[in-house]
Amino acid sequence: MKSPTAPDNRNTTETETLSPDTAIRIDRVTVRYRLPHERIHTFKEYVIRMLRGQLRMIDHLALRDVSMEVRRGEVLGIVGRNGAGKSTLLKLAARVLQPTEGRIRIRGRVAPLLDVGGGFHPELTGHENIFLNGALLGLSRAEITRRLDSIVEFAELRDCIESPLRTYSSGMIARLGFAIATDVEPDILLIDEILAVGDEKFRAKCAGRIRRFRDAGTTIVLVSHDMHMVRELCGRAVWLNKGRVEGEGTADEIVTLYSRA
């Protein structure tokens, strides 16, 4: 049994080639958000302040010197308080953010399972929105055409798929989003507290789908505040605290430690 420890120096020597068993490897990554000291809303104000040399920035380190590894086929849980840097970590893995310092390597196709409802257009039909959303997730037209049926099937929206999206309820929209995002057969699935969508029956179906992904050998990184779910779904877990890795170990150990803290 590996006892949970603070990150040691084991990770500081970067292995040059990524072992085939590694899905994600993060080496000494720091992410810095740089924000203007006061929020500057307008371009005019920005230019005036820049000319006067009044542009003060504050740095915020969302992740500090984080090293970790996600092995292929494992389900890794990430726990931590609000603002601990969990979502930031997933954004790194999704290539949305680039690390300010350090190095990240990712093997295979990554699918972030999050609410991409922002990509929907209310005037278009569900059908048309599937094509738009699939394209945003990097699918080609041919791939979406091939998956169309199973997406509509899973979302249980066959009857209204030709109606404009503005006639859908928010739960129906969330279902459509989930159905599109999980129909991609990724190598790595990133889940950031999304499982609270839809009604109870649909949530159970989502959990079932995630279990199927796990059983099919998909690598999963799961961020959740639901300790019950972390225990149930994850093998290993990492505890983030204020941007640092506070502990790492089996899901049971970490959940116990974290719940006590």
Partner 1 sequence: MCEHSPLAGKTGCPETAQTVFDSAHRQPPAIEELVQLWRYRDLVAQLVIRNIKARYKRSVLGVVWTMLNPLLMMAVLSLVLHGLFGLRVPNYSAYLLAGLLLWQFFAQATLASTSEIVWGASLVKRIYVPRTAFAVAAVGNGLVNLALSLVPLALIMAVLGIPVGRAALTIPVSVLLTAMFTLGVALFVSSVAVYFADFMEIYQVALTAWMYLTPVIYPIDIVPERYRWLFKLNPMCHLVDIFRAPIHMNALPAMESLCAAAGASVLVLLLGWLFFTRNSDEIAYRA
Ligand X SMILES: Nc1ncnc2c1ncn2[C@@H]1O[C@H](COP(=O)(O)OP(=O)(O)OP(=O)(O)O)[C@@H](O)[C@H]1O
Question: 183 or 192, CB closer to Mg ion?
Answer: 192
Crossing angle of helices 126-136 and 141-155, in 10° steps, is 120
Judged by CB under 6 A, the residue of 12, 48, 57, 60 near ligand X is 60
Question: 68 or 152, CB closer to ligand X?
Answer: 68
Distances (CA, A) of 79 to 32, 210, 213, 214, 259: 20, 18, 21, 19, 10
Site for Mg ion in 87-146 (CB under 5 A): 87
Phi, psi values for residue 102, rounded to 5° = 90, -170
Per CB under 6 A, does 84 bind ligand X?
yes
Site string for ligand X, 86-125 (x = CB under 6 A): xxx-------------------------------------
Q: Which does 2 bind (CB under 5 to 8 A by kind): partner 1, Mg ion, ligand X, none?
A: none
Decide: 7 and 67 in contact? Cβ < 8 Å.
Answer: yes
Site for partner 1 in 155-194 (CB under 8 A): 164, 187
Per CB under 8 A, does 35 bind partner 1?
yes
Q: Which region among 102-110, 154-162, 199-207, 235-243 touches partner 1 (by CB under 8 A)?
A: 102-110
Q: Which region among 35-43, 146-154, 238-246, 251-259 touches partner 1 (by CB under 8 A)?
A: 35-43
Per CB under 8 A, does 121 bind partner 1?
yes
Phi-psi label, residue 62: left if phi above 0, alpha if psi -120 to 50, beta otherwise: alpha
Distances (CA, A) of 76 to 114, 120, 234: 17, 30, 5
Beta pairing class for 22-36 and 57-71: antiparallel
Phi, psi values for residue 260, rounded to 5° = -75, -30
Grouping H, G, I as helix, E, B as strand and the rest as coil, residue 229 is helix
In the complex, the residues that contact ligand X under the rule CB under 6 A are: 33, 35, 60, 62, 80, 82-88
